[in-house]
Amino acid sequence: MADEKKKDDPIALLKENYSKVKKIIATTQAAHSEAYLNAQKAHLTGKDGLIDPELLDKVDVQKKFLDTMIEHYMTKAMKDLNLKGKPADAIRQDQILKAYAGITRGELKNMIQTQGKDYTLNQHEHIRDGLIDEIRKELSKSAQGHIGKEHTGALIKSMGLDDIVDTSKMTHQDALTMYNLQESRGGDKLTQKSIASYYKSQGQASPVFIKEEKKDKAYKK
């Protein structure tokens, strides 16, 4: 019954979808780190038990390192995407890898071969963060796909912003931008100043839908 109510309430469904997106992103971030750490432990551990980054300059180690990382990505993707039967075709595997991790085998291979010993965990996670940002953008589009112009007022009201923005001057995309911005700030309520600052950072003028801040009138006797 609760799920049915959410389907009838577009704002509740939006919040539920974004909650799922956060979980997917956290899971994918972990998968990226695990893929590297598994390969590092298997192929860059020296006889003394210590990690030796220099080993990643060797061509044969690079191949094994790549294979281990791809195997981890594919295993996680098949499980998390609820797919059955790992495809033997390289193109189909790349489709799954791109959808799940944001990267193909060829792209990862090129990075490992080009950077060698410099392809450290820090470098890997720097690249991961860029990939995750792109995945987040695509998932967010899916999460908010059911929101239309008719939901603008309700969405702004649910965020508690109806006192600082004029919904008659907004599109539903403006409202979704506000929602995404507020979500990215941990749910902290936006202000006229923070909204204007965001648009300025994007190289845009202050939006016309921001209401003027009310100024306290001086007390007169």
Quickly count: other Cβ atoms within 10 Å of residue 92's Cβ. 11
State pLDDT tens for residues 2-18: 455 556 799 999 999 99
The answer to whether residues 43 and 65 touch, using CB atoms and an 8 Å cutoff, is yes
Give the per-residue pLDDT at 183: 87
167 and 94 share one domain? no
127 and 167 share one domain? no
130 and 155 share one domain? no
Compute the mean pLDDT over every residue in the chain, rounded to the nearest whole number.
92
Give the per-residue pLDDT at 50: 97
139 and 156 share one domain? no
Residue 33 has pLDDT above 90, yes or no: yes
134 and 166 share one domain? no
DSSP of 38-51, one letter per residue? HHHHHHSB-TTSSB
Number of domains in the chain: 2
State pLDDT tens for residues 99-126: 999 999 999 999 999 999 999 999 999 9
Q: Which of 143, 164, 189 is the last residue of a domain?
A: 143
Token pair 């791109």 is at which residue?
A: 98
Q: Rounded to an integer, what distance in angstroms lies between the CA atom of residue 175 and that of residue 159? A: 10
- 52's CB contacts (< 8 A; 6+ apart) are 44, 45, 46
Sign of CA dihedral 148, 150, 151, 153: positive
Token pair 């309700």 is at which residue?
A: 154
Residue 217 has pLDDT above 80, yes or no: no
Alpha helices in the chain (DSSP H): 2-8, 10-43, 59-80, 90-101, 105-115, 121-143, 152-158, 172-184, 192-201
Q: Is residue 115 part of a domain?
A: yes
Domain span at residue 75? 9-143
Reference 107, options 75, 136, 81, 134; nearest CA is 134
